[in-house]
A and B are shown apart, each in its own frame.
Chain A
Amino acid sequence: MTELTAPNVVAASTRSDRRRQILQNLLRGERPYMLYIAFVILLVVFSLSSPWFLSVDNFLNIGRQTTLVSIIAVGMTFVIIARQIDLSVASTLALSGMAAALAMSQINNSWVVGAVAGLGTGALVGLLNGILTTQLSIPSFLVTLGSLSMARGLAMMVTNTKPVIITNETYFAIFGEGTFLGIPVPIAWTLAAMIVGILLLHYNVFGRRIYAVGGNPTAALYSGINTKRITTAAFVLTGTLAGLAALVLSARSHAARPDVVQGMELDVIAAVILGGCSLFGGRGYILGTLFGSLIIGTLNNGLVLLGVSSPMQLVIKGAIIVAAVAFTKR
């Protein structure tokens, strides 16, 4: 924008303005349309090259496969908008899953106990990440690099690396195998996490503060915002969602294993960045993250259907992620 000589004419906020505002909230990003175009291109390419790709079953498959990444990526969006990073999410998931399964096997085999233990463990790891980052001013990259290792180690220690079997049918139904309004529950949980994320980030006071802290921490401080508390809250949210993902995974496999999803933090971060978040903070939106995650999931799925060898899959996936980020950035 250049010269702004026109006198400020401020229109009353009409309904159409309001709608535009909501759209802006949901689609905010550098070049949001590039992301959706990329997704559509991907769908077209795979549909043309594999007869099995374009089916309801396969899309539900993709949805199920991306569940874990999508759920955690919602939290990661908050963390990255706040100018931080959380590398510990995959380990947190493993530790939370062990905590949930062990708590159930010890106390009444109750699914409530399992859920509370799983979510609580995730929240606690997030809280520690947040406190260390803000109170000791250690870069979150280093803090969470440490907790990545510690959480994974703890998860292996508690059972000496053995998996813990889960037998509670209600638990399976709620988190892994049932349906909710006809939607498989893992996908329902993903949607729930998305909606909560959208409400928190775009409609809640907390979201406003997250954007301000990431956009300019000094200005946020000078505006009376407790930047440390806000940053810590973002980590707690991410940890809790890693806990939720742990419940989904363990309910699907009827057991918690300490060695699951190693390296998944990279997929989560890739999804968030692909979705239009700025690594420099202050910018990003939840719907973008969902599409980022879907693109990664679709790639995984489509490449398998095309019979691409798994080493080659890694190479193609990596190249497409870098290319996509390069295109969606300025």
Chain B
Amino acid sequence: MVSGINKRFGGVRALRDVNLEVRAGEVHALLGENGAGKSTLIKILSGVHALDSGTIEIVGRPVEFDSPAKSREAGIAVVYQDLSLVESLSVADNLLLGREPRARFGFVRQRELIAKAEAFLNELGIPLDTRAAVGSLPFAYRQMTEIAKALMGEVRLLILDEPTSSLTSDEVRILFDAIGKATRRGVGVIYVTHRLNEVFEISQRVTVLRDGANAGTFVTAETDMKRLVNAIVGTDRSAPTGPRTEPAAKRELDPSPVLSLSDVSNDRLRAVDLSVLKGEIHGLAGLIGSGRTEILETVFGLRPLDSGAIQIEGRRWLPRGPADAIEQGIALVPEDRHVQGLVLDHSIERNVTLPRIPHFSRWGWMQQRAAARRAETAVARLSVKAPDAFSLVRTLSGGNQQKVVFGKWNDPRPRVLLLDEPTVGVDVGAREEIYAVIRNAVRDGSGVLVVSSDLVELIELCDRISVIVNGRVARTLSRGEIDDAEELHHLLQMYQASGPGHLQELPA
């Protein structure tokens, strides 16, 4: 159906001669890492982006479209991750949104509308209450509504973009049933996912994209997980980023833990055991949604503990909230600096002093000079590029904004420094500076727990790395056990693919 697609964004070739064929009634899985080109391909098929060269054919006829509406007309329907339903309206209202049967003066024929919706759902064989408000439905049923809505009208190709990322296993079952019903009507399905086990469960064939090009198409029944992982990761790939320092040699660490979690469980974590030693950088590796961030949030008091214990320098402590955590000497550089880390419309000085306002006051009155001096020191020490400490944070570049977030926690040194994706959206120069800040903190005796999706970064920084899968620590690696990002990547994929259970038997 799709052949020889090319797409460029400026100087970057996002897609290079990509071919993809989906047969009627087939579920065709589309795999690849983030940035491999899956989203670009989907956007081209759905008419969001135009293609540079190549052809798209539907049932043998070449088609061209320059808008989502045209793509839809050609019979391609897309179900996105973030649902496009109106939660306060009923299922029937949503299905026929914008095409309601009307009486005179724009009044809606309510009975006809419900009858139409019910007839359609019956035909599809999807059991949904058409009168229920979408917002009151469990997530899987909302997704089914979304699929039903996508299938309204003449649809030949249905594209599902990571439909199971927020579903429970029972809900996945319901969703798979709905997909099966669509394929039985002769609809071809492109199924984008990160979960390899689902590929084997639902798809007939698999296409893997790597770096914007085809990395192989397989008949699902004739391949195995190992081969798919190899195709996704690539076997001959060198380190993805430019020159970086060699990982430092294994260091001798003070064996006393500053932070330890034993058997910690809550809504997202399952019996997490973890320790961070004084002066150690401890990495958390895992896929998005594995519970990495939730471990940091739990330690920082943002997520209540159901069971288990946390100890700070050997003393048992139950976090009651961020203020309590800060009191204990715990600091968090959160994942989203714009939403969680900074007040963008305020000055560097205001942001830097925020977690420790009482330290810059006497009897409740601000010591403006002390606060200003503190901010100026932070600006100088972290080499934040800004005219002065009173510049608005909004005017700084991403890397400098991130340095300001670090500046909130730099002085005095925290006992435990929690870092969530510390270098996302930060350019190479600032990245090295941030690494230096982290290493300085460790040298002064802080313990660091760092979450990162950049595996090269983890290997370079960390003394130990814990692999997090489905809310638990699957394995903890010491420096030297793995010194290659690719190997670590393989390991993550294998753990994720094999799911919970028999974890320790896998090879390193």
User: Interface of A with B (CB < 8 Å)?
Assistant: 1, 4-8, 10-11, 13, 18, 21, 24, 199, 203-209, 211-212, 215-216, 218-226, 282-283
Quick check: B323 and A225 within 8 Å, CB to CB? yes
| A8-B379, A205-B358 given; A218·B366 CB < 8 A | no
Quick check: A208 and B350 within 8 Å, CB to CB? yes
Q: Which listed residue (B364, B383, B395) contacts A205, Cβ 8 A?
A: B364
Quick check: A211 and B350 within 8 Å, CB to CB? yes
Quick check: B346 and A224 within 8 Å, CB to CB? no
Report A-chain residues with C-beta under 8 Å of the C-beta of B346: 211-212, 215, 282
Report A-chain residues with C-beta under 8 Å of the C-beta of B355: 223-224
Q: CA of A260 to CA of B307 in the docked complex: distance in angstroms?
A: 57
Chain B's closest residue to A216 (CB) is B343
* Chain B CB within 10 A, most for which of A7, A10, A225, A226: A10
Q: Does B334 contact A (CB under 8 A)?
A: yes
Q: CA of A208 to CA of B300 in the docked complex: distance in angstroms?
A: 22
Q: CA of A211 to CA of B325 in the docked complex: distance in angstroms?
A: 22
Shortest C-beta distance, A323 to chain B (Å), equals: 25
Quick check: A208 and B357 within 8 Å, CB to CB? yes
Q: Does B341 contact A (CB under 8 A)?
A: yes
Q: Does B369 contact A (CB under 8 A)?
A: yes
Per-position binary interface string of chain B over residues 331-354, scored 1 when its CB falls under 8 Å from any chain A CB and 0 otherwise: 010100001111111100010011
Q: CA of A224 to CA of B396 in the docked complex: distance in angstroms?
A: 24
Within 8 A of A (CB), among B390-449: 390-391, 395-397, 400, 408
Quick check: B369 and A13 within 8 Å, CB to CB? yes
User: Interface of B with A (CB < 8 Å)?
Assistant: 300, 302, 321-323, 325-327, 332, 334, 339-346, 350, 353-355, 357-358, 361, 364-366, 368-369, 372-373, 376, 379-380, 383-391, 395-397, 400, 408
Report B-chain residues with C-beta under 8 Å of the C-beta of A216: 339, 342-344
Quick check: A204 and B397 within 8 Å, CB to CB? no
Chain A's closest residue to B322 (CB) is A224
Shortest C-beta distance, A204 to chain B (Å), equals: 6
* Chain B CB within 10 A, most for which of A203, A205, A207: A205
A-B contact pairs, 18 of them (CB 8 A): A1-B391, A1-B395, A4-B396, A5-B385, A7-B385, A8-B386, A10-B376, A10-B389, A18-B368, A21-B368, A204-B366, A205-B364, A206-B364, A219-B343, A219-B354, A221-B322, A225-B354, A282-B346
Quick check: B366 and A208 within 8 Å, CB to CB? yes
Chain B's closest residue to A282 (CB) is B345
Report A-chain residues with C-beta under 8 Å of the C-beta of B373: 13
Quick check: A10 and B380 within 8 Å, CB to CB? yes
* Chain B CB within 10 A, most for which of A4, A6, A225, A282: A4
Shortest C-beta distance, B394 to chain A (Å), equals: 9
Chain A's closest residue to B380 (CB) is A10
Q: Which listed residue (A205, A222, A223, A224) contacts B366, Cβ 8 A?
A: A205
Quick check: B342 and A224 within 8 Å, CB to CB? no
Quick check: A208 and B353 within 8 Å, CB to CB? yes
Q: Which listed residue (B325, B361, B388) contacts A11, Cβ 8 A?
A: B388
| A208-B350, A215-B343, A215-B346 given; A223·B408 CB < 8 A | yes
Quick check: A10 and B361 within 8 Å, CB to CB? no
Chain B's closest residue to A21 (CB) is B368
Report A-chain residues with C-beta under 8 Å of the C-beta of B383: 7-8
A-B contact count (CB 8 A): 115
Q: CA of A60 to CA of B321 in the docked complex: distance in angstroms?
A: 51
Quick check: B380 and A218 within 8 Å, CB to CB? no
Report A-chain residues with C-beta under 8 Å of the C-beta of B323: 224-226
| A211-B350, A216-B344, A224-B325 given; A10·B379 CB < 8 A | yes
Q: Which listed residue (B334, B380, B390, B395) contacts A222, Cβ 8 A?
A: B334
Report A-chain residues with C-beta under 8 Å of the C-beta of B385: 4-8
Report B-chain residues with C-beta under 8 Å of the C-beta of A10: 376, 379-380, 388-389
Shortest C-beta distance, A199 to chain B (Å), equals: 8
Shortest C-beta distance, A51 to chain B (Å), equals: 46
Report A-chain residues with C-beta under 8 Å of the C-beta of B358: 205
Report B-chain residues with C-beta under 8 Å of the C-beta of A212: 343, 346, 350, 354
Q: CA of A211 to CA of B368 in the docked complex: distance in angstroms?
A: 15
Q: CA of A90 to CA of B389 in the docked complex: distance in angstroms?
A: 41
| A211-B350, A222-B334 given; A205·B357 CB < 8 A | yes
Shortest C-beta distance, B501 to chain A (Å), equals: 36
Q: CA of A5 to CA of B368 in the docked complex: distance in angstroms?
A: 28
Report A-chain residues with C-beta under 8 Å of the C-beta of B343: 211-212, 215-216, 219-220, 282
Q: CA of A205 to CA of B357 in the docked complex: distance in angstroms?
A: 7
Q: CA of A117 to CA of B366 in the docked complex: distance in angstroms?
A: 32
Shortest C-beta distance, B397 to chain A (Å), equals: 7
Q: CA of A222 to CA of B202 in the docked complex: distance in angstroms?
A: 42
| A209-B357, A212-B343 given; A4·B366 CB < 8 A | no
Shortest C-beta distance, B399 to chain A (Å), equals: 11
Q: CA of A207 to CA of B346 in the docked complex: distance in angstroms?
A: 13
Chain A's closest residue to B369 (CB) is A13
Q: CA of A208 to CA of B400 in the docked complex: distance in angstroms?
A: 23
Report A-chain residues with C-beta under 8 Å of the C-beta of B391: 1
Q: CA of A204 to CA of B362 in the docked complex: distance in angstroms?
A: 9
Shortest C-beta distance, A118 to chain B (Å), equals: 25
Q: CA of A269 to CA of B22 in the docked complex: distance in angstroms?
A: 61
Quick check: A8 and B384 within 8 Å, CB to CB? yes
Quick check: B342 and A203 within 8 Å, CB to CB? no
Quick check: A222 and B341 within 8 Å, CB to CB? yes
Q: Closest 3 interchain pairs by CB? A: A215-B343, A224-B326, A224-B323
Report A-chain residues with C-beta under 8 Å of the C-beta of B321: 224, 226
Report A-chain residues with C-beta under 8 Å of the C-beta of B389: 10
13 further A-B pairs in the complex, CB-CB below 8 A; given A204-B365, A221-B322, A282-B346: A1-B391, A4-B387, A10-B379, A21-B372, A205-B365, A208-B354, A218-B339, A218-B340, A219-B342, A221-B302, A222-B334, A225-B323, A282-B343
Q: CA of A220 to CA of B364 in the docked complex: distance in angstroms?
A: 18
| A8-B379, A21-B372, A219-B342 given; A204·B388 CB < 8 A | no
Report B-chain residues with C-beta under 8 Å of the C-beta of A18: 368-369
Q: CA of A200 to CA of B334 in the docked complex: distance in angstroms?
A: 30
Chain B's closest residue to A222 (CB) is B340
Quick check: B368 and A203 within 8 Å, CB to CB? yes
Report A-chain residues with C-beta under 8 Å of the C-beta of B302: 221-222
| A4-B385, A8-B386, A225-B323 given; A205·B361 CB < 8 A | yes
Shortest C-beta distance, A82 to chain B (Å), equals: 13
Chain B's closest residue to A226 (CB) is B323
Quick check: B388 and A223 within 8 Å, CB to CB? no
Q: CA of A220 to CA of B350 in the docked complex: distance in angstroms?
A: 11
Q: Which listed residue (B341, B353, B368, B395) contacts A219, Cβ 8 A?
A: B341
Report A-chain residues with C-beta under 8 Å of the C-beta of B300: 222
Chain A's closest residue to B343 (CB) is A215
Shortest C-beta distance, B147 to chain A (Å), equals: 33
Shortest C-beta distance, B339 to chain A (Å), equals: 5
Shortest C-beta distance, B346 to chain A (Å), equals: 5
Report B-chain residues with C-beta under 8 Å of the C-beta of A199: 365
Chain B's closest residue to A25 (CB) is B368
